[in-house]
Structure 1
């Protein structure tokens, strides 16, 4: 089986096999290409797009590195078996598959599996080389896992480094200091746009990405505290996910880097201590903070907010821990109000998201009073000890015609993830009051409801019909469905 995969990589033969019998074996009847009238009529560009959509999950450049991958699957993935099968259908398909560099642009390599593969590492390297060569000069998407130098990690990285000028989207998972093996790429990354590093060793001394004129997205996850040197002023998106509970100072300090004014930062922090946090001023426009404390009752949000200032913040998201040990983030109202005043959120903030916090409806109203520029409000009952989305909250969100009488008068997007602890009548009174005012910028009111598994009731057919009717009439954009994160 594995030998035949490798021989296909080097073979120029073009056996003709019916599309529905690519794996049926030598007894399958031979069918000529002329019988595929539809495919013969399709332009080459459309056929190539179809071929590209045939990639199995994980080989399309998304979530390719997985603990569930087997050594046998790793071999098929490296050989691009689905492309080799397509190339055997007809001579035309063979020419298109083998002669279209774009189809070979994605390379997913997990050397942690290689010692258990049924074929030698020499052949596995040749499979990677074949894909790189067939990709010609097309920009590359790479997902690479290397565990140590003995697992052929350095050999694979050195091979990929010879094509560094083609790197566009790159994800490294590493359990050793891989930057030592990729030092040669410094200054040779003209196309690199997105970089993701999942690390267990420290990349603090790594400066190979310092010169990357198109780099705009950086994601760093893992236990190690430090991140490589990058051109911070270029970044549009920075995500930092730390599992280290003793590492809260470093990620907060990163916010003070010279980000551009339109940058977005997303921090996920687990901590046991928030003592003596130094002040940090950040000029990012969008900030998302997910905080988890190993002691569920620990008040961590207040000290973090006390050290932060965002003079130009447009979007803010505050969330509690999510995952196996998920729990609500204790809310500390006075700290938030001081943070809002210090950051001038009254004039800058247009989007607010709160999820998995203990904030209650009256406290949220107190926050909204100082956020008159809000356009988007995204809130959730998830894991809260008390309902946040209540009749009391919706009543206070009803738009009032008197100037200055309404909370968040410019609101035109509201997303509620809820246990449905509110009445139908109050919800529709709130929505109806907002339909006209929401058109202040030429848009329609977007009203979304996602219900949680622990909801207190079902939405009635009358409720749903009213929302969908208003949508059809062009008055609102309405969504009602189970919470997508819980389905």
Structure 2
């Protein structure tokens, strides 16, 4: 076989160029498209404006940044700059971590001037350091008539009152959500906030986080108007029942601390509209004094003495931190008695606290016929729990059996989230398979799982089987099973000494469309 001749570099480039252009001259090709001729530039301005809105960060209160919308859109071209400049909704949300009068006030004023007449979502964080910063507050108060969602974070205001919100008083007709976070703030410097909120006719949702609070201050809030209330304090004492007496329209409540004093026996408070309860495990004793006939959603979490976020992160890895280890098992009797006393139909239960197997099963039995969603984060699932949730044939005299003969705990359960590592000794395959099989039979009362979020150690035998089940289910009926499996592997931890290992997460989401 003859060896092809070796071409020099110039000849090789010439041949490649001729091959690419097929012998045509370069000037026969159309020029590259200009910005004005790009397909996106042909879109109607209204549609381009809508597309820009989808570019906004997902945060409720995004911090302005040149690398994200809307500022990034202003630097693409003049046409985009004009569209972004006149799209009011792009400028209607902002979080400002206030630091400088000379820089922050003019920049914030310019930003808000672009928002036109759009309703505003504003977040302001200030470290007062015992000094007034009235200029930025005056600027925001100029737009008070358009406030819809507002968050204030105030720190280091132990002094007498040094600021006011006078320009916003009786001028917040649209305000529906307010969040106040205070650290080292005196009662006199909280007064402007309570005065402002008392003039908000449409305020429905309030989050109040204060390291020192008192019942008198909170009673000054417009509690009867609220449908959602979240309270968290580090110190002080609150009379929760006195507060709840004023919350006749409450639909959601979150309580974390402080732990109330032992309450004397008294007539339980009836809250007819409350559907969602989010409460720290150490204050569930207050439930003995409530009747909640509309309650549907319950969340019980670790008390606020330890960081819930940290505990969640370590518990999902199967690591026991000192904070978790020191926690006693939660006794759910107060919650169970509330459910029985209220005759409510709890549909979702979220537990992130150590609890014994028997107590967890008792919780599920209390909402056996109504529960549709269960999230477990505070303890590893036990074989007893899986066994009770798995449909089994009832003991019948007849040898023939149908789906009606199968019984299990929580037959309507369709969503299961186990956000802590499932041990190798525990399997959920039979649980998932049996519920899927029975759900396809006529006249069944047992629901299949349509959402599963499970945390396994890498290599667990359940993983490939459950993925196969999800694929088959979605092939029969699109989006019928949403399966997410988190795998934890063992490897070297960053910064650890040689030879030390620890668990880390490897997430793999199985899309329902696959």
| TM-score (normalizing by structure 2) | 0.68
- CA-to-partner distance for each residue in 1:7-56, whole Å, 9 max, x for gaps? xxxxxxxxxxxxxxxxxxxxxxxx9964552232122123324444555x
What residue in structure 1 maps to residue 228 of structure 2? Answer: 237
User: Which of 365, 371, 378 lines up with 1:375 in the alignment?
Assistant: 371
**Alpha carbons of 1:260 and 1:145: their partners in 2 closer, same or farther (altered >3 Å)?**
same
**Alpha carbons of 1:353 and 1:439: their partners in 2 closer, same or farther (altered >3 Å)?**
farther
More divergent stretch after superposition (387-396 vs 131-140)? 387-396
By how many angstroms is 1:174 displaced?
0.9
How many Å separate the matches in 2 of 1:377 and 1:190? 37
By how many angstroms is 1:445 displaced?
4.2
How many Å separate the matches in 2 of 1:352 and 1:85? 42
How many Å separate the matches in 1 of 2:169 and 2:440? 55
- CA-to-partner distance for each residue in 1:280-326, whole Å, 9 max, x for gaps? 5233433333426xxxxxxx356333333323312222222423465
What residue in structure 1 maps to residue 473 of structure 2? Answer: 470
User: Which of 199, 213, 219 lines up with 2:182 in the alignment?
Assistant: 199
The residue matched to 1:243 in structure 2 has which SS? strand
By how many angstroms is 1:254 displaced?
3.3
Contact 2:225 2:249 in 1 (8 A): yes
**Superposed, which structure 2 residues align to 1:405-484 within 5 Å?**
406-421=408-423, 422-432=426-436, 435-436=439-440, 445-451=449-455, 457=460, 459-474=462-477, 476-482=480-486
- CA-to-partner distance for each residue in 1:152-191, whole Å, 9 max, x for gaps? 6321111111110011111111123889521332221121
By how many angstroms is 1:405 displaced?
5.6
Are 1:213 and 2:209 an aligned pair? no
How many Å separate the matches in 1 of 2:355 and 2:442? 29
Larger radius of gyration: 2
How many Å separate the matches in 2 of 1:431 and 1:388? 17
By how many angstroms is 1:329 displaced?
5.9
Contact 2:381 2:422 in 1 (8 A): no
**Alpha carbons of 1:178 and 1:468: their partners in 2 closer, same or farther (altered >3 Å)?**
farther
The residue matched to 1:103 in structure 2 has which SS? helix
More divergent stretch after superposition (304-313 vs 398-407)? 398-407
By how many angstroms is 1:214 displaced?
3.2
By how many angstroms is 1:223 displaced?
1.0
How many Å separate the matches in 1 of 2:265 and 2:343? 20
What residue in structure 2 maps to residue 287 of structure 1? Answer: 276
- CA-to-partner distance for each residue in 1:61-88, whole Å, 9 max, x for gaps? 4364xxxxxxxxxxx75x9996556435
What residue in structure 2 maps to residue 103 of structure 1? Answer: 90
**Alpha carbons of 1:332 and 1:223: their partners in 2 closer, same or farther (altered >3 Å)?**
same
The residue matched to 2:450 in structure 1 has which SS? strand
What residue in structure 1 maps to residue 134 of structure 2? Answer: 154
By how many angstroms is 1:220 displaced?
1.6
Are 1:366 and 2:362 an aligned pair? yes
- CA-to-partner distance for each residue in 1:195-247, whole Å, 9 max, x for gaps? 11111224367231123333222212231324484443443322223333x44
Aligned length: 420
The residue matched to 1:124 in structure 2 has which SS? helix
**Alpha carbons of 1:151 and 1:377: their partners in 2 closer, same or farther (altered >3 Å)?**
same
User: Which of 79, 85, 109 lines up with 1:92 in the alignment?
Assistant: 79
How many Å separate the matches in 2 of 1:439 and 1:178? 67
How many Å separate the matches in 1 of 2:172 and 2:442? 45
Unaligned runs of 5+ in 1: 1-30, 65-75, 115-120, 293-299
RMSD between superposed Cα atoms in Å: 4.1
How many Å separate the matches in 2 of 1:396 and 1:301? 35
How many Å separate the matches in 2 of 1:131 and 1:61? 16
How many Å separate the matches in 2 of 1:167 and 1:441? 48
**Alpha carbons of 1:332 and 1:108: their partners in 2 closer, same or farther (altered >3 Å)?**
closer
The residue matched to 1:238 in structure 2 has which SS? strand
The residue matched to 2:465 in structure 1 has which SS? helix
The residue matched to 2:197 in structure 1 has which SS? coil
What residue in structure 2 maps to residue 133 of structure 1? Answer: 113
**Superposed, which structure 2 residues align to 1:48-127 within 5 Å?**
48-55=49-56, 61-62=60-61, 64=63, 77=65, 83=70, 86-111=73-98, 113-114=99-100, 121-127=101-107
By how many angstroms is 1:134 displaced?
2.1
By how many angstroms is 1:106 displaced?
2.0
Are 1:318 and 2:300 an aligned pair? yes
| TM-score (normalizing by structure 1) | 0.72
By how many angstroms is 1:352 displaced?
2.4
Unaligned runs of 5+ in 2: 1-31, 312-322, 395-401, 489-503, 508-514
**Alpha carbons of 1:41 and 1:389: their partners in 2 closer, same or farther (altered >3 Å)?**
farther
The residue matched to 2:109 in structure 1 has which SS? helix
Contact 1:207 1:228 in 2 (8 A): no
Contact 1:394 1:430 in 2 (8 A): no
**Alpha carbons of 1:383 and 1:137: their partners in 2 closer, same or farther (altered >3 Å)?**
closer
Contact 1:389 1:418 in 2 (8 A): no
